[in-house]
Amino acid sequence: MLEIISPATSAAKARVVIFDFDGTLSLIRSGWMDVMVPMCIQQLSGLGTGESEETLKSVVEDFVWRLTGKETIYQMMALADAVARRGGKPLTPAEYKKMYLDRLWTRIESRIVSLRTGSASPETYLVPGSRKLLEHLNERGLTLYLASGTDDANVREEAALLDVAKYFRGRVYGALDDLTSFSKAILVRKLLAEAGHRGDELLVFGDGYVEIEEVKKVGGTAVGVASAEPECRVTDEWKRKRLIGAGADVIVPNFEDLGGLDAALFTGAGVSALS
Ligand SMILES: [Mg+2]
């Protein structure tokens, strides 16, 4: 169910919409956190600190969440720091990232292959209602950007496999090795400084802390996608709490209530413009 967190929510002035990819539109990498969190706990346990599994879990969940939406390497830097702080000798963040991506691959390979071969339809791995929402925002004349912390080549391939790349007309950005060349923060800064947008002309859809915070910082509007994956029928309470903490104005479990969402964002809460 759609939930309006800030009563004064309005994206009536929006010109630009930034979409996060994984967990917001794409479910190809669904379950990534269940790969990353146990891997990090495994690296931290056995360092002889006497911390319980439960304590380590909350330490790991805390930094993984805080950096969700940022390039994956930042979470791996935090892991290396956490190992070093406990007196361990960490691998490099790049080595941890490779370990993580290798483990994630075993979980997602069949999904990607099924999309490549056409045995699965793109809708199987899209958050419900994504395509109608993207079409609707395009029809409204908004300019759409896709920005992800997943490696650039993967985002481009996966957006194409899900047949959503076309809605962004080339404005698809993922993580690059040079961390100074792209980030969601840099994109927001460029939209303001170079494209000349005001903060209230930005609207973001995301399931991570980073994209919500960056857009809220400059006065934009944020929709938090708190989906209980992979079905995405109901709101996930863990994500919901954290997205509200990050500043989300609206929380949705998916995009099936397009009329309600359109009303909440563009015509004032409670009045459906589409129905
Ligand atoms: Mg995400």
- The full 3-state SS of the chain, as one line of letters, equals CCEECCCCCCCCCCCEEEECCECCCECCCCCHHHHHHHHHHHHHCCCCCCCCHHHHHHHHHHHHHHCECECHHHHHHHHHHHHHHCCCCCCCHHHHHHHHHHHHHHHHHHHHHHHHHCCCCHHHHECCCHHHHHHHHHHCCCEEEEEEEEEHHHHHHHHHHCCCHHHHCCCEEEECCCCCCCCHHHHHHHHHHCCCCCHHHEEEEECCHHHHHHHHHCCCEEEEECECCCCCCCECHHHHHHHHHHCCCEEECCCCCHHHHHHHHHHCCCCCCCC
Looking at residues 67-73, what average pLDDT do you find?
A: 93
Paired with 221 in beta bridges are 203
For 136-166, what is each residue's pLDDT tens digit? 999 999 999 999 999 999 999 999 999 999 9
Distance from the CA of 147 to the center of ligand 1, in angstroms?
9
Q: Do 251 and 226 meet the contact criterion of CB atoms below 8 Å apart? A: yes
Indicate if the pLDDT at residue 38 is higher than 70. Answer: yes
- Share the mean pLDDT of the chain: 95
pTM of the model: 0.93
Indicate if the pLDDT at residue 274 is higher than 80. Answer: no
Distance from the CA of 89 to the center of ligand 1, in angstroms?
30
Distance from the CA of 46 to the center of ligand 1, in angstroms?
30
What pLDDT sits at residue 271? 40
Distance CA 239, CA 225 (A): 8
Looking at residues 14-28, what average pLDDT do you find?
A: 98
Distance from the CA of 210 to the center of ligand 1, in angstroms?
9
| Listed residues: CB within 5 A of ion ligand 1 | 20, 22-23, 207-208
Q: Domains in the chain, start-ordered, CATH in brackets?
A: 3-27+126-266 (3.40.50.1000), 33-117 (no CATH)
> Which percentage of the chain shows pLDDT scores above 70?
97
Distance from the CA of 55 to the center of ligand 1, in angstroms?
25
Distance from the CA of 224 to the center of ligand 1, in angstroms?
10
Indicate if the pLDDT at residue 273 is higher than 60. Answer: no
What pLDDT sits at residue 48? 86
What pLDDT sits at residue 267? 84
What pLDDT sits at residue 197? 97
For 233-264, what is each residue's pLDDT tens digit? 999 999 999 999 999 999 999 999 999 999 99
For 174-221, what is each residue's pLDDT tens digit? 999 998 998 999 999 999 999 999 999 999 999 999 999 999 999 999
